[in-house]
Structure 1
Amino acid sequence: MANKFLLWVLISATLWALIWRFVLIVFNGRSNRKRAVGFFHPYTNDGGGGERVLWCAVKAIQELSPELDCIVYTGDHDASSDSLLGRALDRFGVKLLHPPKVVHLYKRKWIEEATYPRFTMIGQSFGSVYLSWEALCKFTPLYYFDTSGYAFTYPVARMFGCRVVCYTHYPTISLDMLSRVHARNSMYNNEALIAKSALLSRCKVIYYTVFSWMYGFVGSCAHLAMVNSSWTESHIGKLWKIPDRTKRVYPPCDTSGLQVLPLERSTDPPKIISVAQFRPEKAQNRQLEAFSVAIKKLHAESPRPKLQFVGSCRNAEDEKRLQNLKDQAVELKVEEDVEFYKNVTYRDLVRLLGGAIAGIHSMIDEHFGICVVEYMAAGAIPIANNSAGPKMDIVLAEDEQQTGFLAQNVEEYADAIVKVITMPETERLEMAAAARRQADRFSEQRFYEDFKASVRPVLCPTSK
């Protein structure tokens, strides 16, 4: 009996010691907050649309509140203030007013996909809590700004006394994902083994349901949630339930820099460009299949097209996916017609866009689709997935003129490729011009205006 009592005392004392340590850390965090905006963006080398948003957001804050320091929390250990300043300009054409300060994170492995072979979503989410704890213990800003979609970090930032702002590109879990598991559809985030099993599918539905409730709770901790599209706004609204604190701000697209490219371009050979990170959800393998089918459908006298993959690799897994695409091109016997460009500079990206007559995109439920807007602004006719952002916000008629094509399967993509290649030059130019006008809705300048209007009440509550 005495031993049990001593054990109870020891456990109680340990628990109270941990709670007291937690209170001290949080109290010190609250009292030591710096007049700064801390941007939580663990991967500052991903090269995608999310990184463009980061640098444009940093620039917007520097213009709106120059008295606030901008801090970037990054897990890239070679990143420095000067290197990030140069990267923003060289990779995205964003000229920051001054270099951001850098806080290096050393626990990034806890948010990496490879760390969680199973229960990846919840594993990465709880891993982000640990990573944000490291970040906020090292530097506690007045404003915590998440630009990478780690909603589980918001309660942590609130406990440190930060005002929480986020720019959400896509929900970690969506009602569409839940419905697909219900329907037992196999996808990159729903293995065939699970899809074929009624029991496993039922278990995953329960897992997703519980996770969606947790996601809704942590997301509601944001003081301001900016979303990038109608599709994302709809899902975040249903999950987070903070409509008065949710603002739609379309992401920044370099429409002005791309609109100077001439619409007339060489079609010998006709080039089709694909701009996306080498990630499973981008479904570049489907593009290769469609390209192979399209070549077979073209008449012998039609020019043989080229497909150009342009993207970035974040890690070894992405490198492996890139190699798999190259191997697939060989298997489909189109390796002579396919080119791969990895981690290109912004200048080279513009050059490649300027030579393409079409741009292809194949991610299902792409939250927005910056690359689709870039195609349109550059004069390349978009061939995009018939879902979410491209369907609801981007590839819409302009003055009753078609601005591109939407497709869902390999056959539809192949047919669209054939149509673009074989359409008369005047028809292509008319469609490309209409697409370019439509792209004006998503300009970088429009982003700055909408972004500042959204964050001003949070950063400058007394301003009118």
Structure 2
Amino acid sequence: MDALLMLLIGVVTALVLFTVLATAAFFLLGSGLPPVSKGVVAFFHPFADGGGGGERVLWCAVKAVQDAAPKAQVAIYAREGLTSEALLRDAEARFNVRIERPVQIVPLRRTHLVLPERYPRLTLVRQALGSVGLGLEGLRQLVPEVYIDTTGWAFPYPWAARAGARVVAYVHYPTISSDMIHRVWSGTATYNNDSDIAESPVKTSLKLLYYRAMALWYGLAGTACSAVMANSSWTRDHIRNLWSWGKPPALVYPPCDTTELQRLPLDRKLKQLYLVSVAQFRPEKNHLLQLQALAAAKRAAGPTLQGQAVRDAKLVFGQAVRDAKLVFVGGCRGEDDRRRLEALQAAAEELGVAGSVEWVVNAPFSDLRSLLGGAVGGLHSMTDEHFGISVVEYMAAGVVPIAHNSAGPKQDIVQPLPLEGGGEQPTGFLATSVEEYAEAITRVLTMDQRERLRIAAAAQQQAGRFSTERFLADFTALVGPLLPK
């Protein structure tokens, strides 16, 4: 038995002991934290400047709290160096969300404790312990009357609750899920289950034990909540199972700026056919799959047209695919994201599609709106994406989505609309493999304009279910009774 196996056994044993002993000591001895600051609502969101869908949820939730409780002081536990003024400007520029009153920033110096790249092995348990340390760093400075987590780090919840705060969780993605456990059980190699473990029955058994211990700890942490929200049917089902002892989760779809994007015309002038891909440059977003699919679609498209006399329809369609571009629009949170971006740019060169790819980094909302206004299709390739705000943004803008056939996009978003008299109108395409993505890319780039308009109109109608207005109403209905009076 090698050192890794011994380490796994030791960590699993230590985790179980830590959970039992720490919980017992916690409730018997007290929290040792300062008294509750009445009238304060604090959001735990260490990387509030991240620029992703989670940050849009944060700022819309802040707006909902300020509207529902005008006299409450809103605070955000965020990484050291961020200022309220800069964050509020960024919220308006990037997400079109205007926050009327200033917020207090509770600075966190040890945000590195929750970064996955810090822990190449046993990432889950070490990040979980890091989140407890980071949560306690914030709570030692301020214990609010209401503690709202919008990041998914559940492990500090019991400490906040024991200190006297009412805890609210908005869960984007379960830290551990039955899908993750199933992939380990089935021996599937993925970004969170490398082939060395997937191919070893002994290591697989130990990792299953590790995951189940984590699920137990996660479930115990969830019982500290006074209210729980999940952002999709997929997430709600997992949280309902994992947090079965606590409050049942309510389904509150995340806020998407569908109102602004729905003003974009469906029948647009297409000077240059292009696809967009909107996602932060993180490994789970699987941008490489999109590059591989684009390359496959272009290889299958046939030769470039020569002259004006060619009338073969396949060649005409092929030329549309060969001329099309893919525009990546994403945020870089730090040096690791920038290195991933550089690796993707190198991969585009190797695949022979660098000349057909553009990169737009940390774009403001106005630039995103302009790009969506001219795109014909939008790519999304994350497996088990909890929801998929970018997919909704595509649909609201009249961009035909090509999304991964799992979780949020599959269960909630890319759903066909029933037609009068029977039948269904597709609102986009779902894919899993490189070949399926390449086929969908070709279909979107070469489809008849009338067919594209029918799909785009149905997609836009479907996107209306996920508006900012609906989020504000649903969030306020659940959280409003818990806010300071």
Structure-1-length-normalised TM-score: 0.92
From the superposition, tell whether residues 90 and 242 of structure 1 become closer, same or farther in structure 2 (CA, over 3 Å): farther
Match of 1:82 in 2: 85
In the aligned structure 2, how far is the partner of 1:388 from the partner of 1:164? 26
Counterpart code for 1:38: A
Alignment pair present for 1:134 and 2:137: yes
Does the aligned pair in 2 maintain the 1:265–1:357 contact within 8 Å? no
From the superposition, tell whether residues 205 and 23 of structure 1 become closer, same or farther in structure 2 (CA, over 3 Å): closer
From the superposition, tell whether residues 226 and 269 of structure 1 become closer, same or farther in structure 2 (CA, over 3 Å): same
- Give how far 1:436 is off: 0.2
Within-5 A mapping of 1:398-437:
398-399=417-418, 400-437=424-461
Does the aligned pair in 2 maintain the 1:309–1:341 contact within 8 Å? yes
In the aligned structure 2, how far is the partner of 1:448 from the partner of 1:25? 33
Match of 1:92 in 2: 95
In the aligned structure 2, how far is the partner of 1:315 from the partner of 1:236? 30
Within-5 A mapping of 1:208-219:
208-219=211-222
Counterpart code for 2:34: G
From the superposition, tell whether residues 408 and 24 of structure 1 become closer, same or farther in structure 2 (CA, over 3 Å): closer
Counterpart code for 2:184: V
Within-5 A mapping of 1:43-122:
43-75=47-79, 77-122=80-125
- Give how far 1:449 is off: 0.6
SS at 1:33 equivalent: strand
Alignment pair present for 1:333 and 2:338: no
Match of 2:289 in 1: 286
In the aligned structure 2, how far is the partner of 1:159 from the partner of 1:250? 29
In the aligned structure 2, how far is the partner of 1:238 from the partner of 1:459? 27
SS at 2:228 equivalent: strand
Counterpart code for 1:93: N
Counterpart code for 1:410: V
Match of 1:16 in 2: none
Q: Name which of 234, 248, 254 aligns with 2:257.
A: 254
- Give how far 1:24 is off: 7.6
Does the aligned pair in 2 maintain the 1:223–1:245 contact within 8 Å? no
- Give how far 1:46 is off: 1.3
Match of 2:227 in 1: 224
Q: Name which of 233, 239, 242 aligns with 1:239.
A: 242
SS at 1:226 equivalent: strand
- Give how far 1:460 is off: 6.4
1:337-371 superposed Cα distances (whole Å, 9 cap, x missing partner): 00011111111111111111000000011110000
Match of 2:373 in 1: 354
Alignment pair present for 1:29 and 2:48: no
From the superposition, tell whether residues 457 and 34 of structure 1 become closer, same or farther in structure 2 (CA, over 3 Å): closer
- Give how far 1:91 is off: 0.8
- Give how far 1:219 is off: 1.2
In the aligned structure 1, how far is the partner of 2:113 from the partner of 2:385? 25
In the aligned structure 1, how far is the partner of 2:359 from the partner of 2:98? 28
1:44-92 superposed Cα distances (whole Å, 9 cap, x missing partner): 12111000000000000000011111001101x3311111111110110
Counterpart code for 1:211: M
Does the aligned pair in 2 maintain the 1:258–1:350 contact within 8 Å? yes
In the aligned structure 2, how far is the partner of 1:96 from the partner of 1:237? 32
1:101-149 superposed Cα distances (whole Å, 9 cap, x missing partner): 1111111111111221211111111111111111011111101110000
In the aligned structure 2, how far is the partner of 1:105 from the partner of 1:142? 19
SS at 2:425 equivalent: coil
Within-5 A mapping of 1:290-305:
290-299=293-302, 300-301=315-316, 302-303=319-320, 304-305=323-324
- Give how far 1:298 is off: 2.1
- Structure 1, unaligned stretches of length 5 or more? 1-18
In the aligned structure 1, how far is the partner of 2:141 from the partner of 2:118? 24
- Give how far 1:442 is off: 0.3
Counterpart code for 1:168: V
Match of 1:11 in 2: none
Q: Which has the higher contact order (CA 8 A, sep 6+)?
A: 2
Counterpart code for 1:340: W
SS at 1:223 equivalent: strand
1:398-437 superposed Cα distances (whole Å, 9 cap, x missing partner): 2321100000100000000001111100110111011000
In the aligned structure 2, how far is the partner of 1:247 from the partner of 1:111? 27
In the aligned structure 2, how far is the partner of 1:266 from the partner of 1:79? 41
Does the aligned pair in 1 maintain the 2:223–2:246 contact within 8 Å? no
Q: Percent identity?
A: 48
Structure-2-length-normalised TM-score: 0.88
Match of 1:13 in 2: none
- Give how far 1:310 is off: 0.6
Counterpart code for 2:38: K
From the superposition, tell whether residues 160 and 243 of structure 1 become closer, same or farther in structure 2 (CA, over 3 Å): closer
SS at 2:156 equivalent: helix
In the aligned structure 2, how far is the partner of 1:243 from the partner of 1:217? 8
- Give how far 1:23 is off: 5.4
Within-5 A mapping of 1:146-295:
146-242=149-245, 244-295=247-298
SS at 1:252 equivalent: coil
In the aligned structure 2, how far is the partner of 1:23 from the partner of 1:312? 44
Does the aligned pair in 1 maintain the 2:224–2:246 contact within 8 Å? no
RMSD: 1.7
Counterpart code for 2:381: S
In the aligned structure 2, how far is the partner of 1:404 from the partner of 1:25? 50
Q: Name which of 382, 396, 409 aligns with 1:377.
A: 396
Match of 1:367 in 2: 386
Does the aligned pair in 2 maintain the 1:272–1:360 contact within 8 Å? yes
In the aligned structure 2, how far is the partner of 1:242 from the partner of 1:373? 33
Counterpart code for 1:61: V
- Give how far 1:33 is off: 2.3
